[in-house]
């Protein structure tokens, strides 16, 4: 630990450490990196502080999806310094948060998933983004504030750099309210257009509030369009309303997609004219949204020509088994009437979801569909999804450039 000196914990030591960029990343010869996380106790040393543990939740590494004991940073005695080091592949990317805890007890009991998830749930209210990480954080799953970590060989995401550093221009989104008689709901819809071409393709983005606000997509889309890597297009971001509506409407819900076709799409033509052909219409989503995107394309290929699915939950409806309902239907011979296009991405650290996506790829190809499957070195993580979405758009729209 070359950073450990006789000045450890002093103001000048912290300032020097922050100038190096935190977390600290040291490349190793074996294709991995040693990553060291730090937390500065605002209450000082153990003599004055109430903090007895600082749990670290890293997506796909130490989070509540892992069947392993939770990890805590360690305090350097008589200082305000907490640290924890781990080894990760140099191609890894993901988000993390820290959870200061006034209780000294470590996790006890059998490391079964139900017990671990209940334990983590008790700690979630203390979660915070890393105050020493200079890059923009956001509210991740379950509302946890998280920070990003990009290792040196992770897939290129330079198009997001201005967003991460808080200097991206705020491009205007056109906001509308979709009143649905079929669903008896009203929700926000945000529209971003990247050009004035006559026959612009259409992208429907599920979890629209995420792409409109949490991980603002407009500036990266505009950069790629201006660079000629994407065609001018209409991007429609559809709000989930809340988690209850999301869990009901996105997993293979025919009423939701009939409402989209009967109610939303006719209004969209007036709000932002676009090409209405199936070949020029993509549906995109992550997790349940990825499942929903594939469901829409398989059931209504005459309206939706392609799906971009990021960490799609194709295990649904029975958690724990990779062969969910859509996969079973494909294996029984369904969805062979038309050849549709799919871009699937899943993280190797997602375990069940990764297996389900591998199986879905095989069954879609067997059924005659065109499939690109792109594994990534990460977990169920927004940092992976944002790269996967843009890669998927470029792959699916090469013929339009």
Q: What is the pLDDT of residues 258-270, one digit of tens each?
A: 999 999 999 999 9
Q: Tokens 């699915």 belong to which residue?
A: 309
Range of the domain at 119: 11-150
Please indicate, yes or no, whether residues 184 and 200 belong to a single structural domain of this protein.
yes
What is the pLDDT at residue 112?
A: 83
Please indicate, yes or no, whether residues 256 and 334 belong to a single structural domain of this protein.
yes
**Would you place residue 75 in the very low, low, confident or very high pLDDT band (cuts 50, 70, 90)?**
very high
Rounded Cα gap, residues 383 and 387, in angstroms: 7
Final residue of a structural domain among 150, 172, 205: 150
Rounded Cα gap, residues 184 and 241, in angstroms: 12
Pairing state between β 306-310 and 281-286: parallel
**Would you place residue 399 in the very low, low, confident or very high pLDDT band (cuts 50, 70, 90)?**
confident
Q: Is residue 266 domain-resident?
A: yes
Question: Left, alpha or beta for 21 (phi > 0: left; psi -120 to 50: alpha)?
Answer: left
With H, G, I as helix, E, B as strand and everything else as coil, classify residue 218: helix
pLDDT digits (tens, 9 = 90+) for 216-257: 999 999 999 999 999 999 999 999 999 999 999 999 999 999
pLDDT digits (tens, 9 = 90+) for 171-205: 999 999 999 999 999 999 999 999 887 789 999 99
Final residue of a structural domain among 132, 150, 168: 150
pLDDT digits (tens, 9 = 90+) for 301-321: 999 999 999 999 999 999 889
* Closest C-alpha among 173, 178, 175, 177 to residue 262: 178
Q: Which residues contact 378 (CB under 8 A, 6 or more apart)?
A: 59, 60, 92, 93, 94, 347, 348, 349, 384
Q: Specify the DSSP element, H or E, that contains 166.
A: none
For the CA atoms of 345, 351, 355, 358, what is the dihedral angle to 10 degrees?
A: 20
Rounded Cα gap, residues 367 and 338, in angstroms: 9
Q: State the CATH number of the domain containing residue 234.
A: 3.40.50.1820
Contact 189, 236 (CB under 8 A): yes
Number of separate domains in the chain: 2
């Amino acid at each position: 630990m070359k950073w450990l000196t006789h000045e450890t914990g002093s103001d000048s030591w912290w300032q020097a450490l922050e100038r190096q960029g935190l977390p600290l990343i040291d490349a190793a010869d074996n294709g991995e990196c040693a990553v060291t996380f730090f937390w500065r106790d605002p209450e000082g040393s153990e003599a004055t502080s109430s903090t007895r543990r600082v749990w670290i939740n890293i997506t796909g590494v130490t989070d509540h999806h892992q069947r392993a004991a939770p990890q805590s940073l360690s305090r350097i005695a008589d200082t305000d310094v907490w640290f924890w080091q781990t080894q990760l592949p140099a191609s890894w990317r993901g988000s993390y948060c820290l959870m200061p805890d006034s209780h000294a007890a470590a996790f006890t009991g059998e490391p079964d998933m139900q017990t671990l998830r209940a334990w983590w749930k008790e700690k979630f209210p203390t979660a915070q983004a890393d105050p020493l990480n200079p890059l923009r954080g956001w509210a991740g799953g379950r509302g946890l504030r998280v920070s990003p970590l990009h290792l040196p060989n992770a897939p290129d995401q330079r198009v997001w750099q201005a967003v991460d550093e808080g200097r991206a221009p705020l491009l205007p989104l056109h906001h509308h309210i979709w009143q649905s008689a079929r669903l008896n709901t009203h929700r926000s819809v945000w529209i971003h257009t990247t050009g004035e071409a006559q026959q612009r393709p259409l992208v429907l983005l599920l979890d629209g509030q995420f792409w409109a606000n949490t991980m603002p997509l407009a500036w990266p889309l505009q950069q790629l369009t201006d660079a000629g890597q994407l065609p001018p297009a209409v991007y429609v971001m559809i709000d989930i309303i809340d988690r209850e509506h999301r869990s009901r409407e996105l997993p293979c819900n025919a009423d939701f997609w009939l409402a989209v076709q009967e109610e939303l799409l006719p209004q969209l033509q007036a709000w932002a004219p676009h090409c209405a052909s199936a070949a020029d219409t993509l549906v995109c989503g992550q997790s349940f949204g990825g499942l929903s995107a594939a469901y829409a394309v398989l059931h209504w290929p005459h309206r939706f020509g392609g799906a971009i699915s990021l960490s799609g939950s194709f295990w649904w409806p029975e958690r724990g088994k990779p062969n969910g309902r859509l996969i079973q239907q494909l294996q029984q011979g369904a969805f062979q009437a038309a050849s549709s296009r799919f871009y699937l991405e899943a993280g190797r650290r997602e375990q069940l979801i990764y297996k389900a996506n591998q199986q879905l790829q095989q069954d879609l190809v067997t059924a005659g569909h065109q499939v690109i499957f792109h594994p990534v070195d990460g977990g169920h993580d927004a940092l992976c999804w944002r790269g996967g979405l843009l890669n998927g758009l470029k792959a699916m729209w090469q013929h339009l450039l």
